[in-house]
Structure 1
Amino acid sequence: MTIWRRRSWMAIIAAVFALTFVLAGCGKSDNNQNNGGQPPETQGGQQNEQTETGSNETSGGEEKQYYVVMVTDVGGVNDNSFNQSAWEGLQQFESEYGAKVDYLQSQSDADYVPNLNQFVKNGADLTWGIGFLMGDAVKQVADQNPDAKLAIIDQVVDAPNVASVTFKEHEGSYLVGVVAGLMTKTNKIGFVGGMEIPVIKRFEAGFTAGVKAVNPDANVIINYTGAFDAPDQGKAAAATLYNDGADIIFHAAGATGDGVFNEGIERKKAGGDVWVIGVDKDQSITFGHDITLTSMMKRVDQAVVQVSADLVNGRFQPGLTELGLAENGVGLPENNPNVPEDVLKQVDEYAQKIVSGEIVVPSE
């Protein structure tokens, strides 16, 4: 059994709700209309409170409906990547716990604080900020609202009411680098990043190290677009890399990566022998197996589920949680029909060495 298939708490939840994700598809479900940050109606017209024991019942015996929400970064909730994965996690949490969930999309960084405040002021039990760029905003809102509970993905916020979740993206990226290094036919491999920030640099560093570990002769060509919400820029970046001879491109660029896939699909239809490696989710679900070589799964969805569930169960824990290969927080999808078994075997061998500490993957 491969390392990314370990039955950790994240993998177990993922298995139980895999069908839910397939049925949910992309975007927002019909029964989860964004209501502008307004809280759900409380039973009996009163705000319910969690008891000291963590029970879901109020002092009057009524069951509390939790209100857990998220604010996206500029990539938007339908980015086929990071924000969408977080939203799918909240939908899974809603299904399991009967909670009310909602989101607000940020059109620019100026929206972060107002969007977070809107949810906090309207009584959200837990408010998520999705993404590294929201760190300062989450810190500001947390400090101004010490009784509120907040959580953030990909950034560490030092506040007594904030749970921070980060990932070892470099470990999972190393593994898809192994795939690319073993499968390239041109010895030219591309990487398209969004903004050049620490989290994306971890993707780049791990990917490059994985390629070089199995194919020292390969050249990894780096291209940062400076945006997570610009598919046109992603398409242009991919065109440049393919024109330079790259036959495989790995992107870590949010919705900008949609353009990378679009360029790859066009070239594939024209007879080109090119591939794209997806990020955050199994992007073959969106873009198909004809162009998706594999994906670097980053289980943002399961992190959102677990922290939100901890709140319901009275175990909300501020502070940092870091998830890597050992915790099944990153890795390849369960199914990789375009990757030969001998390559997958080598991927698993490298994964075991990373988990054991024999290989320490660079993060920058």
Structure 2
Amino acid sequence: MKFKKIFFIAFLASLTLTACSTSNSTVDNASKSAALITDGNINDHSFNQSAWEGLEAYGTEYKLNKGADGYQYFQVKNKDDLKTGISKAIKQKYQTIFGLGSEAKNSITSTAKKHPNKNFVIMDDTIKGYPNIASVRFRKDEGAYLAGVAAASQTKTGKVGFIGGENSSVIRSFKRGFTKGVNDQAKKMHKKVTIYNQNIGTFTNTFKARTIAATMYGKNADIIFHAAGKAGSGLFQEARFINQARPAKDRVWVIGVDADQSNLGKYDAKGGQEANFVLTSVITGINVATKDIASRSYQDKFPGGKTITYDLKNNAVSILPGQIDPATWKYVQIARNKILAGKIKI
């Protein structure tokens, strides 16, 4: 009987230890968990998709599962529901919560006040004065400058365009970089290049984006760079419509934004030839930043209260070779090296 009693006590102790071990493991994982809140399609070939890819890379590196105690995204219908998405992530005990762009700014600010023990990240904007909010900014003007160099070098008509979304600091950064890149390269090549600029006013009005694109292409622009989010699909629609009636050699071009948007440029040219009208894409390393901030949080080094800037130097901003011709690509690389050396100021 004595032996049975000792065995039973040992058995109970082992159950207790197992339960404690499981509980601690859950708590540890929960404290390393990360969630992305978005009001757009997670497969948008742009901002949202890049952010999610960064979280997936984070989960892979630290062997975390998609879902509770790991990493997840919460997609809501529109920006008015972003706060609801954040609340869902908090209820499911995610520790580090990412919001994208200025549309998430108010929701993150108000929620961070109520949950000081949670980590919040505003991507592509700045929130100051909160020790539990990290702000992430990108030198988008650097990538846009390189796009401007490419556009000025490769335009055949001497006319290019820029279509922005809302008139925000981010869009002005894109516009400023692109404009300076075009003007600097045109001067270097002793050619005149006209730039058409127009903002849509939103990031969702596809019809207006297409109308603006049609006007610019109608004025003989042959390359248009957009920084218009979801609305940018209107530019792709118009470019496809125009190009399907032309030989591939006479196509008009689009420069994509934030992620590689070459898949959106596939079409059949006049005569049935398969072609693509995306000249290049300006990459904003949302994935680089998302993975980096999540990793810092995992290591208990969350940069709360700070603004982290990502640029050409840490490879978070770049431009793809795409269909840029070899001579133009050399110009792009020369400009990139001068930016890194501090010889070009934007």
TM-score by length of 2: 0.82
Match of 2:52 among 58, 78, 87: 87
Matches within 5 A, 1:3-152: 44=22, 48-50=26-28, 66-73=32-39, 75-99=40-64, 100-152=70-122
Identity within the alignment, %: 33
Task: Report how far residue 65 of structure 1 moved.
Answer: 8.1
Contact 1:65 1:98 in 2 (8 A): no
> Residues 47 and 119 of structure 1: is their aligned pair in 2 closer, same or farther, counting only changes over 3 Å?
farther
Check conservation: 1:168, 1:324, Cα contact below 8 A.
yes
Equivalent pairs counted in the alignment come to: 305
Offset of 1:264 from its aligned partner? Answer: 0.9
* C-alpha spacing 1:241/1:43, structure 2 compared with 1 (3 Å): farther
Q: Report if aligned partners of 1:186, 1:245 keep a CA contact under 8 Å in 2.
A: yes
Aligned to 1:278: 256
Displacement of 1:133 in angstroms is: 2.3
Distance 1:140 1:312, change over 3 A: same
> What is the CA–CA distance in structure 2 between the aligned matches of 1:44 and 1:226, rounded to whole Å?
51
Contact 1:280 1:295 in 2 (8 A): yes
Q: Which runs of 4+ in 1 moved over 6 A?
A: none
Q: Is residue 225 of structure 2 the alignment partner of residue 250 of structure 1? A: yes
The one-letter amino acid of 1:151's match is V
- State the SS of the aligned residue for 2:204: coil
**In the alignment, which residue of structure 1 is the partner of 2:13?**
none
Larger radius of gyration: 2
Q: 1:327 aligns with which of 314, 321, 335?
A: 314
Partner of 2:132: 161
- Match of 1:185, SS state, is coil
Greater RCO, 1 or 2 (C-alpha within 8 Å, sep 6+)? 1
For residues 122 and 37 of structure 2, the distance between their equivalents in structure 1, rounded to whole angstroms, comes to 10
Aligned residue number for residue 359 of structure 1: 344
1:310 counterpart residue number: 296
Q: Check the 8 A contact 2:32/2:297 in 1, yes or no.
A: no
Deviations 1:32-82 (A, max 9, x none): xxxxxxxxxx984678334xxxxxxxxxxxx66843111114x43233211
8 Å Cα contact 2:224/2:254 also seen in 1: yes
* 1: CA distance, partners of 2:217 / 2:21: 58
Superposition deviation, residue 179 in structure 1: 0.2
Cα distance in 2, alignment partners of residues 145 and 320 from structure 1: 20
**Alpha-carbon separation, structure 2, partners of 1:354 and 1:221:** 25
Q: Which amino acid aligns with 1:193?
A: G
Q: Which amino acid aligns with 2:56?
A: Q
Q: Which residue does 1:347 correspond to in 2?
A: 332
Counterpart secondary structure, 2:337: helix
- Whose helix proportion is higher, 1 or 2? 2
SS at structure 2 position matched to 1:155: coil
Aligned to 2:14: none
RMSD: 2.1
For the pair 1:203 / 2:178, whether they are aligned, the reply is: no
